[in-house]
Amino acid sequence: MRSLVLFVFVVLPGVTFSSISLYYLLLEWTTPDAAHKNYQQVAKSPSAKVGDLLIAQAAENRHRINCFAARSWSFVRCGDHSHWHSWYLHPA
């Protein structure tokens, strides 16, 4: 009985939220991948300037950080990250 309660209230919710988070992470991974391809294209361009490379690299890093942050906040907020900006800026 004790193991069943532990499984139902600890293990099952943890696996569920991890699975949901992984699903949305995989959906969002196309944006950082596209940003990386853009960075590679700019880097291979003979007419690219240092500023162009820095902008493309910043865009790639921004997408990767956003992807990580959105998933981390999903874990913190139990999957509800629709209002995390207001929660972060104005904690209760």
pLDDT 10s digits, 26-56: 777 777 788 888 889 999 999 999 999 999 8
pTM value > 0.85: no
Q: Which residue has the tokens 């361009």?
A: 45
Q: What is the average pLDDT value for the chain, to the nearest integer?
A: 77
